[in-house]
Every structure is written in structure tokens, then in C-alpha cells.
Amino acid sequence: MAFQILLNVFIALTWMFLSVSFKPTTFIIGYLIGILMLFMLRKSFNSRFYMGRVWAVIKLIMLFLKELTLSNISVLKLIIKPDMPIRPAIFAMPTVLEQDWEITLLSSLITLTPGTIVIDISDDNKTLYIHAIEFDDVDEAIDSIKNTFEKAILEVSRS
């Protein structure tokens, strides 16, 4: 991926020199031309096309912002009620993530979402222990995390 980014910057700089224009717009046009060229040559690289990973990161950020907003609203609804009908619980969530940065990112995304916090990670890094302020069903909570954050992290790191 780093090689593709450097190659794209080199193509953009070459475009600037060939155009004899050193404006930022010329660099951006050259960068877009480089993206198009690298996309056409994507089969000749060992790794996947880097813009696919950039798009996956953007989708992960948008997913986090959506989940953050929805969980803020649900926690606000709990707080506004005078009797505070909360059902806190701790549950174990198995994960398929293997690399340390993937597990750290998943833990951070869960913890940054209001109403949930990762308390511990097992020694083999295969299970996260999560505290939830509003808890209904273990399988539903695990599926929710796996189908959102874990799936998006796998898309960024592996595909």
C-alpha cells in the first residue's frame, strides 16, 4: 500500500513538472490521474488497490459516528427517565481479530460508544469482556458488535 501511495505522489509530481505548473490544483489533477493509472494497473501489484482500503477506513469512521449518535440518544433516553430502568450486565464476546492493533481498535470503538466499555481482554486475545449499561440479550449484543465494528475492521485490515 505504501508503495502505491508513493508511486501516486510521484505521478502527481511528474504531472506538475510536465505541465510546468506548480499550483496545488495541478498536483490534485496529477494525483487523480495517478489514481486512475494505478487502478488500471492494480492487477500487477501484490497487494490490493490502496483506495479500496481508504474507502474502507472512511466507511469505518462513518459507521462509528452513526453508532456513536445512536448510542448517545439511547443513553440520553435512559437518563431522562425518572426511575432509570437500566439492566447492566457483563458478557464475553469472542472475536476473530488476530492482530493487536485490530483488537485495540475494536476495544476503543466499543469503549468510546456510550453505554458500553471493554473491561478486560483474555490472555489469548480471543475474548473481550464487555460491560453494557442496557442489556437485553447476549446473542443480540454480540451479533450487533460483530456485524458492525468487527466486520468493518476486517474489511480495513484483510480484504
Q: Mean pLDDT of all residues in the chain?
A: 90
The β-bridge partners of 63 are: none
User: pTM for this one?
Assistant: 0.78
Is the predicted pLDDT of residue 88 greater than 70, yes or no?
A: yes
- Supply the pLDDT for residue 159: 59
**Band of residue 77 on the pLDDT scale cut at 50, 70, 90:** confident
Spans of all domains in the chain: 2-44, 51-157
Q: Do β-strands 127-132 and 89-94 pair in parallel, antiparallel, or remain unpaired?
A: antiparallel
pLDDT tens, residue by residue, 2-39: 889 999 999 999 999 999 999 999 999 999 999 999 99
Are 136 and 78 contacting, i.e. CB atoms less than 8 angstroms apart? Answer: no
